[in-house]
Amino acid sequence: MDTQRKKGLLDTCVLAVLKKGPSYGYELIGLVSSCIPVSESTLYPILKRLEAGGCLTTYKQEHNGRLRKYYQITPAGEERIRLFLEEWSEMERIYTFVKHTSEEEST
């Protein structure tokens, strides 16, 4: 898959997980990896970029005597998911066009 397309999809997958509720890095890796494989070295820059873009906020909470950083979606992050879903409808139409057009030429 194209790297830029995958990057955009990962951003949206992270936001979709956070729409269900706040989460921390390790948990996010597990949840997102069920759809698209993601490593720590990939996830944390995404989280930083989403935070800088106003799509999520962070807070720290103690867990087993250690502070854990949690990520939480913002209204801007929810809007980004909404826009992604709108764009995806357009992508489906383009995919259908390309697929049917290329199949017609093959026959």
The predicted pLDDT at position 106 comes to 63
Beta-sheet strand order (sheet of 66-73)? 23-24, 66-73, 56-63
Averaged pLDDT for residues 75-93: 93
Q: Are 10 and 79 in contact (CB under 8 A)?
A: no
| Domains defined for the chain, CATH in brackets | 3-106 (1.10.10.10)
pLDDT tens digit sequence for 8-40: 789 999 999 999 999 999 999 999 999 988 999
Reported as a single tens digit per residue, the pLDDT across 49-82 is 999 999 999 999 998 999 999 999 999 999 999 9
**What is the mean pLDDT of the segment spanning 88-97?**
90
The Cα diameter of the chain in Å comes to 66
